[in-house]
Amino acid sequence: MDLSDNTIERICKIFGYLHALEKKGVDFVSSKDLAKMVGATEYTIRKDISFLGGPGYTRKGYEVRSFKKELGQRFQLTEKRKACIIGLGRLGTALLDYENFQEDGFEIVAGFDCNVNKIERIRTSIDVFAVSRLAEIVDARNIELGIIAVPAESAQEIADQLAAAGVKGILNFSPVKISVPEGIVHVDMDFTNALRFIAARFVMMKK
């Protein structure tokens, strides 16, 4: 069965909520509650879950712990995945220490920047390197994910280097769309575009 991107995204969100609910000590959650948290209808949530053959209990909902465990196994979200950040400007260094990555399933194991002087000044517990060593370190440390935080003009070049180095996924924070070879998953997170979307959306609402 082939899940759509929308379904995968919702399931990832669900996983996040299950994680939070587990910490709060909640035992069961209904499709209605999940729907509210994910921003979808209960029908859609149940359909999504049905693709996975998830076990729900009549009049109780889904058991938080076992459901989370199952999702984790299915999508391999339990084992920590290693990531690196390229570009150690304001945003890049903020991401280096972004606790939420560590908190759930991801580990930043290296940072890169092309400015060698900058590398020596950065104060962080994470190892930082010159970009020239990207391929070497990605290989040595089994890094699966690359997070791009360089300026627009070098984003594509870094994406190419990451692809060549063998990462499986790229999260791109630069404000240009990057293209990657088939087989590598990537997501563009364009802040400015998000603001534009919000602005356009509320202009549309008035009409």
Partner DNA sequence: ATCTTCTAGTGAATTAATTCACAAATAATA
Partner DNA sequence: TATTATTTGTGAATTAATTCACTAGAAGAT
- Residues in contact with a second copy by CB under 8 A are 2-3, 5, 8-9, 11-13, 15-16, 20, 37-39, 74-77, 81, 83, 89-91, 93-95, 97-98, 100-101, 103-106, 144-145, 152, 168-171, 175-177, 183-187, 189-205
Give residues with Cβ within 8 angstroms of 81, minimum separation 6: 105, 106, 107, 144, 145
Q: Least distance from C-beta 165 to a second copy, angstroms? A: 16
Q: Please, how many CA atoms are within 13 Å of residue 41, restricted to the half-sphere of its CB? A: 3
Q: Least distance from C-beta 151 to DNA, angstroms? A: 30
Which backbone phi and psi does 49 adopt, to 5 degrees? Answer: -65, -35
Rg over alpha carbons for the chain, rounded to the nearest Å, is: 20
Binding of DNA by 96 (CB under 7 A)? no
- Least Cα distance to 102 among 82, 119, 122, 85 occurs for 82
Q: Least distance from C-beta 181 to a second copy, angstroms? A: 13
* Contact window for DNA (CB under 7 A) among 13-21, 26-34, 83-91, 194-202: 26-34
